[in-house]
């Protein structure tokens, strides 16, 4: 199958999934979201004021009409204005994308390189003390939740030692780094444990293949075996995992952005949920879903380029 036909086919089959996501989002909001008009109007607002807000927001229309409007907004990528701030939703998204990428991209690259390096060494010394120590350390790192690391690092490095600010943000590129180092440290620490275990498993699976034994029998050095054979073939599962993690860089880290006051996409979504700001919730849900589907397609295309044995079907 040609590349263009495959992409068109995947996009065509993704449309029902996107339709299902919009439907589930719409139903859940109206089932558990309450009436946003009461939240916007305030506790002491009159019923006339609440009714007026419902009319302004279009909440007095039938559910079918509201859902059709939601689908139209999804098709045009225009979700209107935020109910709480009256700012255009897409302007809010683009403004939050920069801080989210500043937080997620460096941490992602650092954790990937460290995890891959440790996984290579661990697989090379498989069964030895170094490998056992790595496995124990990874399991220890994974035994604590994300929230524990946030509280611990904030207390030790920000509050106790005063090395970094506890929270805050500087919109300038030169001033934001002091607010990002501590979140980077937390993100890398949390990611190393599962990353090393996953990459180590992929590398070990390849190192046990017959072609590796053949290469070693021919007198090829271990460094050449790893670089020319094992790592190259292990990249297939590793790249799949890495590419599927990339949408998280765009949708943001909810906990880190909330605890450190970083005005990214993740923090924007949390505020929208707290304020029952449905236009923002709709936009973030749909955009996140689209990015996941696009990166899923990208992973297939990259894998076919890395491994010619994989065919597009």
> What are the structural domains, with CATH classification, of the chain?
89-306 (1.10.3720.10)
Whether 211 shows a pLDDT value over 90: the answer reads: no
Whether 20 shows a pLDDT value over 70: the answer reads: yes
Confidence class for position 11, pLDDT limits 50, 70, 90: confident
Give the residue with greater pLDDT, 34 vs 86.
Answer: 86
Give the residue with greater pLDDT, 246 vs 269.
Answer: 269
Most confident of 171-175, 202-206, 252-256, 303-307: 202-206
Confidence class for position 1, pLDDT limits 50, 70, 90: low
pLDDT at position 216 is: 78
In degrees, rounded to 5, the angle at the alpha carbon of residue 270 between the alpha carbons of residues 268 and 272 is 70
Confidence class for position 34, pLDDT limits 50, 70, 90: low
Q: Is 2 exposed, middle or buried, given 0-12, 13-18 or 19+ CB atoms closer than 10 A?
A: exposed
pLDDT at position 6 is: 83
Closest residue by Cα to residue 70 from 27, 131, 9: 27
Whether 239 shows a pLDDT value over 70: the answer reads: yes
**125-143 pLDDT tens trace:** 888 999 999 999 999 999 9
Q: Is 51 exposed, middle or buried, given 0-12, 13-18 or 19+ CB atoms closer than 10 A?
A: middle
Tokens 């607002």 belong to which residue?
45
Angle between the N-to-C axes of helices 265-274 and 89-124, in degrees from 0 to 180, rounded to the nearest 10 = 120
The Cα 7–Cα 296 span in angstroms is: 11
Q: How far is CA 252 from CA 97, 103, 245, 247, 249, in A?
A: 8, 8, 11, 8, 5
pLDDT at position 10 is: 86
Closest residue by Cα to residue 171 from 86, 253, 102, 269: 102
**109-125 pLDDT tens trace:** 999 999 999 999 998 88
| pLDDT > 90 in the chain, percent | 21
Whether 61 shows a pLDDT value over 90: the answer reads: no
pLDDT at position 250 is: 67
pTM score of the predicted model = 0.82
Whether 248 shows a pLDDT value over 80: the answer reads: no
The Cα 115–Cα 296 span in angstroms is: 22
DSSP H helical ranges for 58-207: 63-76, 89-124, 129-142, 146-153, 177-207
The Cα 28–Cα 193 span in angstroms is: 34
Confidence class for position 54, pLDDT limits 50, 70, 90: confident
pLDDT at position 131 is: 92
Confidence class for position 33, pLDDT limits 50, 70, 90: low
DSSP H helical ranges for 59-88: 63-76
Element (H, E) at 245: helix 231-245
């Amino acid at each position: 199958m040609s590349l263009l036909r495959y992409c068109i086919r995947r996009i065509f089959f993704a449309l029902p999934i996107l339709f299902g996501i919009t439907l589930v989002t719409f139903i859940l909001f109206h089932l558990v979201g309450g009436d946003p008009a009461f939240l916007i109007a305030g506790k002491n607002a009159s019923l006339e004021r609440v009714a007026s807000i419902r009319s302004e927001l279009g909440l007095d229309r039938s559910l079918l009409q509201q859902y059709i409007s939601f689908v139209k907004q999804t098709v045009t990528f225009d979700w209107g204005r935020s109910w709480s701030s009256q700012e255009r939703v897409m302007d809010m998204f683009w403004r939050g994308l920069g801080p989210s990428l500043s937080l997620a991209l460096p941490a992602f690259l650092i954790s990937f390189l460290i995890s891959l390096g440790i996984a290579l060494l661990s697989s090379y010394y498989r069964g030895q003390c170094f490998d056992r120590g790595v496995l124990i350390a990874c399991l220890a790192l994974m035994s604590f939740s994300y929230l524990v690391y946030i509280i611990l690092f904030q207390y030790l490095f920000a509050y106790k030692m005063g090395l970094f600010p506890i929270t805050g943000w500087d919109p300038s590129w030169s001033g934001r780094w002091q607010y990002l180092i501590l979140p980077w440290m937390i993100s890398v620490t949390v990611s190393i444990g599962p990353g090393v275990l996953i990459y180590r498993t992929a590398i070990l699976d390849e190192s046990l293949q017959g072609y590796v034994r053949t290469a070693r029998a021919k007198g090829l050095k271990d460094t050449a075996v790893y670089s020319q054979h094992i790592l190259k073939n292990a990249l297939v599962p590793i790249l799949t995992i890495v590419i599927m993690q990339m949408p998280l860089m765009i949708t943001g880290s909810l906990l880190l952005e909330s605890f450190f006051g970083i005005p990214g996409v993740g923090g924007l979504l949390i505020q929208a949920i707290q304020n029952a700001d449905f236009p923002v919730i709709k936009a973030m849900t749909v955009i996140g879903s689209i990015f996941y589907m696009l990166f899923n397609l990208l992973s297939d295309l990259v894998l076919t380029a890395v491994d010619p044995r994989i065919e597009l079907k």
